[in-house]
Amino acid sequence: MGEHADDGAGRGGAEQGELFPDASLPDELVGYRGPAACQIAGITYRQLDYWARTDLVVPTIRSAHGSGSQRLYSFKDVLVLKVVKRLLDTGVSLQNIRVAVDHLRKRGVRDLARITLFSDGTTVYECTSPEEVVDLLQGGQGVFGIAVSGAIREITGTIHEFPAERADGAPISDDELTARRKARTAG
């Protein structure tokens, strides 16, 4: 993956404050079953199943083991599914997407929020600053871009509408934001 590396130092809290207004992400043990992950990411179940079987995007909370078992996808997994879908829609090959996904897996969700992916249809480039975007575009390489933070905003806006479960079987407690959304939907 063509990248403009950044060690993450000097990241601004204000940027993350806007992206995660309630200062929280879903618990690492909270996940979404396949059908919900598909709806959130905008993909078909056939795509989800194929990507899991070929190790493109595998569920990090719980993988399927035998008949009747359910995969459980984390928030980050769903985010990566959405990014893969966008890259496919713009014509990037599965081989190049695989390279990009391997790189994205190494990042935390908050780090991913700072990334914009650009592609010329062949290579995927990572930019983490406006200067890197300008450099890439001046070089004539970038044709389209995907702001990962935009995908995160889309997911956080809808993910609470889908059933979630915890890998450890504990009940999921509603945070204040979820409780407000439920109250607004109910009445």
Q: 166-178: per-residue pLDDT in tens?
A: 888 887 766 555 5
Domain boundaries along the sequence of the chain: 28-106+150-181
143-159 tens-digit pLDDT? 778 888 889 989 988 88
Using an 8 Å Cβ cutoff, are 100 and 58 in contact?
A: no
- pTM of the entire structure? 0.73
Length of the chain equals 187
39-95 tens-digit pLDDT? 999 999 999 999 999 999 999 998 877 666 689 999 999 999 999 999 999 888 888
Q: Give all strands of the β-sheet with 165-166 in edge-to-edge order.
A: 72-73, 30-33, 165-166
Q: Which CATH number fits domain 28-106+150-181: 1.10.260.40, 3.40.50.300, 3.40.50.2300, 1.10.1660.10?
A: 1.10.1660.10
